[in-house]
Structures are given as structure tokens and as C-alpha cells.
Structure 1
Amino acid sequence: MATLAIDLNLIYKLTNVSDVTKLLHETVARERAIDQDLDRQLSKRSDLERNFLLLNTPTAETLELVRADCEQLLQSVQGTAQLADNISSKVRQLDLVQGRVQSVLSKINLILDRTNCINGVQSAMEAEDYEAAARYISSFMELENPDASQAEDQRRVLMEVRSRLEEITDRKFEEAVARRDHTAAVRFARLYKPLGKQAEGLQRFTDYLKVVVGAQARNTYTALVEKLEGPQAAAAAAGGGRGSKADFAAALTALFKDVALCLEEHEGVIKETFGEAALLDVMAGLQVECDNAGSRILQRYSDNRRLERVVREAGQSGNAAAVAAGDLGTDHRAVEALIQEVLEICGLCEEYNQFMLGKMRAAAAAGGVGGGGRDSAGGAFNVSLRELLSRYVALEEYYLDETASMAVRIDEQLSGALTSSMVDDVFFILRKVGLRALAAGQFQATAALLAELNNVLANLFRNALQVRDRRRLKVKVGFVGFVSMRSSAYGTDLAVALNNTDVAADYASRLRSELETHINGVLASPSDREKARSVLSDLAKTGGDFRSMAARGLESLAEGLLPRMRALLDELAAMSYTLTEAEYASLEVEGGWAGRLVLALSGLSSLMRSLLTTSNWEVLFGSLLDKLSARLEGLLGRKPFNQLGGLQLDREVRLLISGLGDLTSRTVRDRLARLSQMAVLLGLETVEELLDYWGGPGGGGGGGGVINWRLSPAEVRAVLVLRTDWSREAIMALPL
């Protein structure tokens, strides 16, 4: 315990009563704390004495006490273990007894169930409740055998009943089929599952459905033949008519509808009775009937419409009258009507095929059958369909070539139109044929016709454009001829030829885009859709070729229009740019060659803009402006300048930019950028001032420059040399 150290000298020095009182209080408080600490230490005395006594107790006595406690605990544990053994043996005995009781009860229940089945099946047979009898038989066969002797007797009785029920089921089913009693046929078909004869039942039921669909198909075909060969058809043929009013599309629709309704009506019964995969067998059986009836209808259609002959003559003749002789009329319109009819029939067949394939895939997935179902593409019906599609392609190709050629032959220029008639006519035909080809829904036919579209466009139509293009005047256009272009046949023909090519390029792009938007809806396979897009990509190339043709024609026209500007260019060639103050002021009032060039180009715009498409005018004007800019740049590059001359040139270039801006929707400033930069250079006060505009090594507007330079460093020096008041040495010393 710490002691309180007091300095006596400090006490002797105390003279203030308050300080003495304070020190006294601190001493008293310290004393009280010491007293409390002593009381706490004394309170621990009894515990310390007891611990000392325990330490003095011998170790042997302590161990004896511990041993006595352990023996007592052991005896208690042994007693508990013996009691647990006794209880466990009784529990095992109870479990054994309970298991035997449950076994006995199960056997009793089984005997009762089998007995109930025997009694139930006999009662059901007496009541002719064959469904209940079949359920009792199925339940009996699922029960285990509790007693061999008793089970054998019961089995013998039940097998006799089962055999009798099978005979009844077979007989009743056949009777129902014979009298076309559909309700009874379905009723007895359901009995094959509880009787354990699902395979036989499935075959019988499938044969029955084939009979039903086959009979309906024969009725449909018979009605069709009656229309083809009946008295009305004979009378129509004798009178010079087409012969029959038979609707082959309606006959096929009826056939497909019968098959589809048969599947829809019996799908639940088939799945419930024979399993999910059984639907595939039923569809395969019905497809056989559809193959037979469908192929007969398609063949009869081809014979009635003489498709083979028509296709053969289409490939040989090259004119609509020869192809359409006899039954088809006298022009391509009859061929188109036949195409529409063939396409309608092909579309119906393809729609039915997709319906059946979808059903097969769904049934195969539900039944766990690999391969996505059976493929009926090799059946007689689909073989006939492919033959019909091939004839459709041949007829469509003939129609496309013939009508496109006709559109070219009757091409005419309509009053007020920018293009001739063949552009709209040909692309209308191409669009119609393209959409029909996609509607066929069969990739091979679609791909062949899409390729033929591009072939007609890239060859026949392109040749027609080139023939019209060659009828233009030669590349050079004289002043008088240009002025009278609006009223001259040449001017109209020239504009129409250029417009035809430009519009054809736009139409080709639109045609490709429109056909591509229809691909997803008509071609089921992703790979077929991708291949179709690949075929359509050729249209983009053909459209690009048309665009290039138009650009070349406009380039030639721009070159031919330049002679009209010769007087203005000659004026510029004779002009001096070493000006005095008076000359500079007078030129500001006159406007000079730049103003007259704006007027000349404005006159050109008034003559040509209404004759050309917007795109063609923009290309023509831009090409002409590029050529003029190059000529102006060449003329100015041979002239001496002083600063006033440079400022005059800058004023003239600004006049050109502002005056020509209304003649085009595209920027004029970019096309005159080199001239504008020449004017800036020639109007500088000093050579060194260029560095404020140049912007670092190489120019280009970087490094603090304010101009995106179109002139190279060498061209900049060549322009600066035109200033007569600057030394070549100073110009060459510029760090460009």
C-alpha cells in the first residue's frame, strides 16, 4: 500500500488558513481510504484459513472419497443398462409380431381383392359391362400371389373370362368397323389396354382410322372426277370452253382437313390408350392414305391443266401466244392465272406438310422417341408435290422473262414523268414474282426464282438501260443544245436515261429489303432463311452497278456542260490580280466573273433540276462544281497577286459559296475549300502570318491552327510564290 509523503518544510511555510484546511481535508480523505483497504484485507482471513486446512488434509483420504463416488456411479449405470436391454428385447419382439400381423393382413386383403376381382368380372360380363370387366382383369393381373392353390383356381377362372372378353372385343370392334359405328369402335379400342394387348389394339385402331380417312378421300376424289368428266364438263368442252369448273384446291383442302380432324379428334384416345409414341404410328398410317389420295389429285390436276405440255412449250417458244395456245388463252395473263392456281395448291400442300411435321416432332418428344418423328418427304404425295413445284418454277421463269421483255419493248416516256414506263413496270413484275416465290414456302423453288430475279435485272433490264443510254447525244454538249434541252427530244431522252438508272438502283435496294422482311414468315428453317438472304445479296450488287452507271453518265454530262462556262473562264484568264486601291474598289461594285458564274449555274439549275431526280441533280451539280473548281484553281495558279488581289479573290470565293448554296442541298464550302484556302494565303499581310493559321508541322488544323488545310505544304508554297511582294527565300524558309 502506498504511503503519503509529506514535506514538513511545506507545512512550516503554510501561513494561509484556507491552505491548511485544504491540506487537512486531503489527509483525512487519505486516511479513510487506507482504513477501507485494511478492512477488505481482513475480510479474506476466514477463506485463507479454510484453504490452509484443506491443504493439510492427506491425499489418500481425498482419493477414497473419489473412489466411493465412482463405484456408486458405476452401479447406477449398470442398472440402467440392464433395464434398457430388457426394454429393447420386448420392442424387438413386438416388431416381429407386428410384421407377421401385417403380412397376414396383406395376404387377407390380397385374397379379398382377387376374390372381388373374380366376382366383379363375372358380374360385369353378365351385365355386358365390358369396360368394368377389363378393369377387373387388369387389377387381378397386377395383384401378387398369396396362396398358390387358391391363386391357381382364381387365375383359371379369370383367364377363361379374359379369353371370352378378348373374343368379344375383337368381334365387336370388327362389327363396329364394318357398320362404320365410330362410337362403338372407339369404345372397344379402349379395351385393348386393360387386356394387355396394346400393340394389337393400336394396329387395329390405326387400320380403322385409315379406312375412315380413305373412304372420305375416295369420296372427295370421286366428286372431283364427276366435275371433270360429268355432263356439264363435256358440254363446256364442246362449246370451246376450258372444260371443267373443278376446284382442285378445294379437293386437297378437304383431304387435309379430314386427316387433321381425325388426328385432333382421336389424339387424346390414342395417347391415353396406347401411349404418347403411338401417335406417330397413327400419323404414319394416315399419311399413307394421304399419299395415295393426294398424289392422285395432283396428278389429275397436272393432266387436266396440261402442265407438262405448257412447261415444254414455254421452254421452246419464247412467246405467250404459243405457250397459251388452246386452253390457256392468248397472252401471258393466262399463264399468270395458271401460276396463281399452282402456287395456291403448292401452298396448301406445304402448309399441310408443316402441320404434320410439327405434330410428329411433338409426339416424338413426348414419347421419348429420337429423331423428331418420321419424315414423310419421300412419299408419293411429296414426290408429286416436288414435280408440281418444278413446273411452277418453269412457268414463273417464263412469265418473268416474257413480261419483263414486254415492259422493255413497250417502254414509253409519259408526260411529266422523270422516268420511262419500263422502270416501274419491270420492278412491279419483279416484286410480284419475288413475293410469289417466297409464298411457295419451299427453299429450292424460292432460291431458283430469286436468282432469276437478279438475272433479269442484271442482264435484260441492264441492257435496256444501256441501249437507252447510248441514244443520248455524245459526251460534249454545245451551248445552244444545252439551252434548248428542256424542249428538245434529246434533252428529255438524256434525262430519262440517267433517271432510269438512278431510280433502278433505289428500286433494287428496296426490293431486296422488302423480300428480306418476308423471309422469316415463309421459310421455316433458319439455314434456308440464311441461304435466301445470300441469294438476295446479289440484288445489292446489281443496284450498286446501276448506281455506278448513273454516276458515269452524270460525269460525262458534267464534262459536256463545261464548254458553256468557257466565256467566264476566259474572262478569269484575262483578269489581273495585281490591283490598285481604285481597281479593288471598282471590282467590289461590279461583282466580276464570280457573280456571272453564279448566274450561269443558276440558269443551269432552272433548266436541269426539274428534268433530273434529286439524287442525279446533286451528283451532276457536285461533279460540275468539282470540275469548275479544278479549272479555276489551274487558272489562278498561273497569275501574279498582290495583297489586294488576294483579298479580291477571297471576296469572289465567298460570293461563289453564298450564291451557290441555294442550288444544292449538299455543302458547297467543302468543294470550294481549296480555292478558299488559296484566297486566304494570297490575302496575308506577311509570309510569317501564315504560321498563325497553319497549326504546326503538316498543317491540318492541329497545334493551335484554325483551318483544316486541304493544300499540302508544297502546294501552300506554290501559292505563296504567286505574291509578287514576297521573296522566294522567305517562303521556302517557312517551317511547314
Structure 2
Amino acid sequence: MKTYRGRPQLGGLQHESKSLVKIISDTSGLAESISVKVRQLDLEQSRVQLAIKHVEDVQELKFCISGIQRAMEHLEYEDAARHMHKALGFDKRILEGSFAEISVPSASNPEYPTVMLANSKAKLLEIISTEFEGATQRQSEEDITRYFKLFPLLGEEQVGLDKYSQFVCAIVSGKAQASLAGPPKSPTFYADTLIRLFESVAVIIDQHQPVIEKFYGPGKMLRVIQRLQEESDTRSRKVLEAFEEEREIARKVAEIKAFREPKRTTLQSSGTIRSLTPQPGSSNMQQSSSIPEVIDPRELDINLNEMVLISQRAHLYNRFLESRAKSEVEQLKDDHAGEALLEKQKDLHNESGLLRVSGLSRKVEEVIDHYLAIEEFFLRRSVDRAMKIDEYDAGNQTSSCVDDVFYILKKTISRAVYTSNVDCLAAMINFIKNTLEMDYISGFQRNMASVFSNGDTRDARFQYMILLNNVNVSIDYLEKLTVEIEQECVSTIASLSEHSLAKAKVVLSGLTGSSSKFKRILNHGIEELYERTLKPRLRPLLQDSYKDIKYVVTDEEYAEQEALNSFVNRFMSGLDNLVDAFKSTLTDDNYNQVIANAVTTLTRTWEDIIFDTKFNKMGAIRFEKDLRAVGFYIVSLTSFPLREKLTRLNQMAMLLDLEELEDLYEIWGNNAGAITWRLTDGEVRRILRSRIDFHPEEVARLKL
């Protein structure tokens, strides 16, 4: 019944819903129709705006073209260039469009816009180029800048940069030619000329870079730097060719090589060792020479200094160019067009933007090759001469060759450092190392081997000691030289990369190998001197010092020995006489080593004597006093730490001074405390048996 009554209501709702749907549909259709009309209207409006813009652009193009012609007629090239820049900025569709081809031409200018612009641009470019060249000839900086800044407005940046490069290169060329016009008056004339060339390029880059960046944009200075490098390569080669010709470098190198090949000549030794005897004015100058005097060494020295200066300045110049060019390259990489330009240049230029193969670098490498040949000859000749005129002056510890040779070495290595060429330094260090080992130290070795050929005489000893001093001082000089040159490397060639500096230090460490060889020779020589001259006299010294001395004494005998102190006085007096000549002649290091060897022998010999000597309690006390006095004396002889060598003797005195055998346990084993026993168990028993009041059976029963 309820369902029946609700049917009329559902029917009404259905009718109303259909009506609402129809209204919404009609409204939607109307809205869509309006939207279409609006879009059409917007499209028409945008087309109208484009048309207006097109018309305005064509009118502006026409105005620019007329402005170009009018400005050129009135010689107002800046205005003409600005109009041209604006005209060239229009879209290609406008320039080549039919509307522009109809609207822009006039009775006086009937050509199409593109033709008119091309003709005007060509004419304006020609005029600006001519005016720029005229300004460069007049050296008018104002006009040069005036016309230089117009090339980018014409879209001809490369033309402008090339012309500007020609201008600055002409400046460099003119200065270089003027520098070479006069005769070479100074010893470093060509190096100075090269330096002025490099300085002129550096000044141009510094002064002109802001101008180019202002009008051409960042990174555009690279092109000018590249042209300047090419020009400086050309000019520097001419300077270096003139240097080689004027200084006759090729001839000198050829003569040097003729004497150096086919095999290396060994330098002569410094001659007979008798030249080192302490006689005023004595010399071992020989009439013959193993290295001929074909070239004045003073002239070679001058040439070498000039070569070093050339290499050093070329290195600094290349570093400067690399730094400035790399900065420009980094700026170009931020620009797509600049990156494309770099890609085109990569066959000729490296990642820094400079020439992959520099003419200057190649020529400087040739100079370095000549430098090495001459420096090696100069070094060997100088060392040879120093060894031949070697002489000894009374009061000195070494002969003259040591100071002479190391002065030469310091000069040679310093020059190699100043080249700023690590490979050159490495070559010189290797040659110096060979010269030191084959020519210098070998001369000392030959003389040391022959010095005692006529027996162990006073003069022979003296000569041998001077030779040992030469070796010892050479070691000191070599180590100091290595440190000084390392410091020079850091301060002088600080422009090198960290890798190159590290390589330089590794190269210099090669001298340490020579130092080690010198030390081995020195140690062997000191041992030979000691074994031959001092060691055979030490046992007799001790035996003579112990003459009439005994350690089994009564109280009266003890008092007598205490008063006379015979052993200590004889020993000190005897050893003083033995070592006096060593002390007055040898260097401190050599003397200390000889004394250290002597003390080693003395203590061993003394130990043997004590083992075979009998003691009572009073004698043990006497021995302890003698040992203490001798110990103080020995320690005073040298700065070496020699007290350690007396340890075994001191321990022997300690054992001999025991009151009772049982007292040993207070200083032995776990009760030893700070004492480190150097005597074996057997030696302890042996020394204790030396006490006549200690029964051997009791000594044997000791638990050690």
C-alpha cells in the first residue's frame, strides 16, 4: 500500500532530473562555444601582435640600414657599427622575409636587406681594419682602442683579435730586433735580450688583458696569448741562434766531445804524497795534464752562467704563459662556443691552450744539452787542476784540494739548480757523483795505499793523517752541500710543481751514496793507520807502566805507591807521547775514532794483565784507584763516550774489592739492581781467584 502511494513522487523526481541534465548540457555547450571563440580571438590577437612586431622589426631594420649608410657617409664609424650590430641581431626570417624585401629597399638602395647588410658590413669592416692599422702605425692608443672595440659589433671577433695580435706581436718583434741590433757588450748580453723579450710579452698580457675582456668577453685573451707565444718562439730562437753563433758554442762542444770520446780519461792522482809534508810553499804541480787546455776556462765559466740564466728565465716565462693561458681556458669552458673553439684547437694546443710543441722549449733543450757537455768538461778540468796544484800549508788540517774541489762542486750544482730543469740537475748530480768517486776519492785511495811504501816514518804518518783529514772534511762538506742545495732548490725553483721538487730531492739524495762510500774508505783508513802506527805500541805501554808495580802489598808498600802514583803517571805520560802527533794533526772526528780504537785495545790488554795478576785487599784498593784515575784521563782525551769501554774493568775492580766472598750475592743475580754484568760466570770466578785471601775451593762453590 505504501509503495503504491510513492510512485507519483518518483515520477516527479525523474522528470526534474532530466530537466536539470538538459540545462547543464546546454550550459556546457554554450561555455565550450564561448571558449572556442575566446581562443580564436587570442590566436587572432597574437597574430596581430606578431604582425605588428614583424612590421616594427622591419621598420627598425630599415632604420638601422639607413643609419648605417648615414653614419658611414658622415664617417661616424662607431654609430655605424652599433647599427650594424643591431641589424645583425634580427632573426633570419625577418632579414630574408618577403615583407622586408618589399619594405626596406628604396630608390637609392634597391637591394634586398641581406645584400645591403653584407655590402655595408664588408665595406665597414674594411674601413675599420684600415683605420685600426693606421692607428697602430701612428701608435695612437686612443684610436687603437676606438677601432679595436668595433670588430665584435660586426660579429668579427676573430678578425679583431687577429689584428690586435698582429699589433702586439709587431711590438714584441720590434723590441727584439732592436735589442739584437747592437754588438754583444756584456757577458750575459743574449740572456738579457731574451729576458727583455719575455718581459715585453708579460707586460703586454698584463696591460691588454682588461681591454680585451671588456670588449670581447672573458677567455678571449687566449687567442692573443697564443699568437704572442708563436711570435716569442720565433724571436727567441733568433736570439738563441745568435748566442750560439757569437759564443761559438758548437765549436766548443765539438772540441770537448773530441777529447771526451771514445773513452773517458781518468784524472791523474794528486801526485806523490810527499807533496803533503808540512813545508811552506810545497806543491805537486805536474808539467803534463790529463785534460788539455784547449779552451779558456774563464770563457767557459761566462758561457755557462749565461746558459743557466737563459734556461731559468725561459722556465719562468713558460710558467707565466701557462698560468695566464690556463685561466683563459677555464673561462672559455663555461661558454658553449668557447668550448667548441678549444675542441678545434686541440691538435695544435695542449690542455692549457698553449702550443704542444714550443720552438722556444726545443731550443732551450738544445742549450741545456750544450750546457751539460761544457759543465761536465769544466768540472773535470777544474777538479783535475785542483788535484794537481794540491799543496799543504803548515797549520792546516787538510790540503788545498779539498776546499778547491768543493768550491767547484758548490758552484756547479748551484748552476744546475738555477737552470730550473730537474732533468739537467739529475744529470749533473750523477756526473758529480762519478767524478767524486772515480777522480777525487780514488786519488786519495791511491796515495793512502802507497804512503807507507818506504816504511813507517814520521813523514809517512803525517801524510797519511792529512789524507784521512781530507776524506773526513770531504764527508762533512758533502753532507753540508746536500743540505744547502736542497734549501736552494726550495727557494730558487719554488715555481716547480710539488712532484718536480720531490724529484729534485730524490736526485740530491744520490750524493748521500758518495758520502757513505767516503765513510767506508775513511773507516778503513783510520783502522789501517791505527793498526800500523799505534796499536803495536799499546801493550808495551801497559807493560812498561806496570814495571815494578804489584797489587799484593803491605800497608807501607801501599803508602809508597800512593805517594809515587807510578803506574798512573807512566801510563798517562806514555799515552800522551803516543797520541800527541795524532791530536795535533788529525781532525777531531778522526782523532776521536783513533782514541776509541786505542781504548778498545787498551782495555782488552789491561783485562788480560789483570786476569794474570794476584791481589790482596790493599792491592785491590790500589787497583781501583789506578783504574779510576786512568778512567778520568781517558775520558778527557776525547768527546767520544768512552766510559762504557771501561765497564768490564770497573766490574773486575768491584769484585776484587769484596770483603768476603759471600758479599758477591749482594750485587749478583736478583740483587744486581742497576748493574748489568758484562763478565761471564767463568770470568767472575777467575778474577775472584786472583785474590790470594780467597780460597779457590770457596770460589768454586759459589752459586752463580
Same fold (TM over 0.5): yes
Tell me the distance in 2 between the aligned counterparts of 1:246 and 1:570.
Answer: 71
After superposition, residues 457-468 of structure 1 pair within 5 angstroms as 457-468=436-447
> What is the CA-CA distance between 1:652 and the residue it aligns to?
1.0
SS in 1 for 2:137: coil
The residue that corresponds to 1:509 in the other structure is 479
The answer to whether 1:717 aligns with 2:696 is no
The answer to whether 1:176 aligns with 2:132 is yes
The residue that corresponds to 1:188 in the other structure is 147
Larger radius of gyration: 1
Task: Judge which range, 148-157 or 722-731, deviates more.
Answer: 148-157
CA offset digits 1:202-232 (Å, max 9, x no partner): 34443444445445444544x15xx48xxxx
Q: Is the 8 A contact 1:189 1:205 kept in 2?
A: yes
CA offset digits 1:346-386 (Å, max 9, x no partner): 33333322222222222223333696414446233322221
Tell me the distance in 2 between the aligned counterparts of 1:272 and 1:673.
Answer: 85
CA offset digits 1:486-527 (Å, max 9, x no partner): xxx445323312211111110110111111111123261333
Q: Is the 8 A contact 2:64 2:84 kept in 1?
A: no
Q: Is the 8 A contact 2:545 2:571 kept in 1?
A: no
CA 1:114–1:728: 2 relative to 1, 3 Å: farther
Amino acid aligned to 1:561? L
Match of 2:251 among 300, 309, 312: 309
Q: Which segments of 5 or more consecutive residues in structure 1 lack a partner in the other structure?
A: 1-91, 229-242, 697-702
CA offset digits 1:564-587 (Å, max 9, x no partner): 441432453874433333333332
SS in 1 for 2:694: coil
The residue that corresponds to 2:109 in the other structure is none
> What is the CA-CA distance between 1:339 and the residue it aligns to?
1.8
After superposition, residues 154-553 of structure 1 pair within 5 angstroms as 160=116, 163-177=119-133, 180-181=137-138, 183=141, 184-221=143-180, 223-224=181-182, 227=183, 247-317=189-259, 331-368=296-333, 372-376=351-355, 378-473=357-452, 489-520=459-490, 521-522=492-493, 524-553=496-525
Tell me the distance in 1 between the aligned counterparts of 2:363 and 2:319.
Answer: 17
> What is the CA-CA distance between 1:99 and the residue it aligns to?
14
Q: Is the 8 A contact 2:375 2:412 kept in 1?
A: yes
> What is the CA-CA distance between 1:123 and the residue it aligns to?
4.8
The higher-RCO structure (CA 8 Å, 6+ apart) is 2
Amino acid aligned to 1:529? L
Tell me the distance in 1 between the aligned counterparts of 2:51 and 2:618.
Answer: 128
CA offset digits 1:227-285 (Å, max 9, x no partner): 48xxxxxxxxxxxxxx9999323432333233333323322233344444433332222
Amino acid aligned to 1:289? E
CA 1:199–1:421: 2 relative to 1, 3 Å: same
Q: Is the 8 A contact 1:198 1:273 kept in 2?
A: no
Tell me the distance in 2 between the aligned counterparts of 1:220 and 1:444.
Answer: 31
The residue that corresponds to 1:672 in the other structure is 646
Tell me the distance in 1 between the aligned counterparts of 2:442 and 2:188.
Answer: 43
Tell me the distance in 1 between the aligned counterparts of 2:546 and 2:253.
Answer: 69
The answer to whether 1:561 aligns with 2:537 is no
Paired residues, number: 609
CA offset digits 1:13-47 (Å, max 9, x no partner): xxxxxxxxxxxxxxxxxxxxxxxxxxxxxxxxxxx
CA 1:246–1:390: 2 relative to 1, 3 Å: closer
> What is the CA-CA distance between 1:321 and the residue it aligns to?
12
Pairwise CA RMSD: 3.9
Tell me the distance in 2 between the aligned counterparts of 1:321 and 1:668.
Answer: 47
Tell me the distance in 2 between the aligned counterparts of 1:390 and 1:151.
Answer: 69
Tell me the distance in 2 between the aligned counterparts of 1:546 and 1:735.
Answer: 51
CA 1:711–1:310: 2 relative to 1, 3 Å: same
TM-score, normalised with respect to structure 1: 0.73
Tell me the distance in 2 between the aligned counterparts of 1:718 and 1:142.
Answer: 114
> What is the CA-CA distance between 1:694 and the residue it aligns to?
2.8
SS in 2 for 1:670: helix
Tell me the distance in 2 between the aligned counterparts of 1:151 and 1:599.
Answer: 123
Amino acid aligned to 2:558? Y
After superposition, residues 629-668 of structure 1 pair within 5 angstroms as 629-668=603-642
The residue that corresponds to 2:599 in the other structure is 625
Tell me the distance in 1 between the aligned counterparts of 2:213 and 2:312.
Answer: 30
CA offset digits 1:156-186 (Å, max 9, x no partner): 7698357514421233213532662454444
CA 1:220–1:661: 2 relative to 1, 3 Å: closer
CA offset digits 1:605-637 (Å, max 9, x no partner): 544322221212211212111111111111112
TM-score, normalised with respect to structure 2: 0.76
Q: Is the 8 A contact 1:314 1:323 kept in 2?
A: no
CA 1:644–1:103: 2 relative to 1, 3 Å: farther
Tell me the distance in 1 between the aligned counterparts of 2:214 and 2:197.
Answer: 26
The residue that corresponds to 1:86 in the other structure is none
Q: Is the 8 A contact 2:226 2:354 kept in 1?
A: no
Q: Is the 8 A contact 2:391 2:399 kept in 1?
A: yes
Tell me the distance in 2 between the aligned counterparts of 1:691 and 1:245.
Answer: 84
Q: Is the 8 A contact 1:118 1:158 kept in 2?
A: no
Q: Is the 8 A contact 1:107 1:146 kept in 2?
A: no
CA 1:109–1:491: 2 relative to 1, 3 Å: same
SS in 2 for 1:549: helix
The residue that corresponds to 1:232 in the other structure is none
Tell me the distance in 1 between the aligned counterparts of 2:581 and 2:88.
Answer: 101
CA 1:259–1:611: 2 relative to 1, 3 Å: same
Q: Which segments of 5 or more consecutive residues in structure 2 lack a partner in the other structure?
A: 1-34, 106-111, 261-287, 334-341
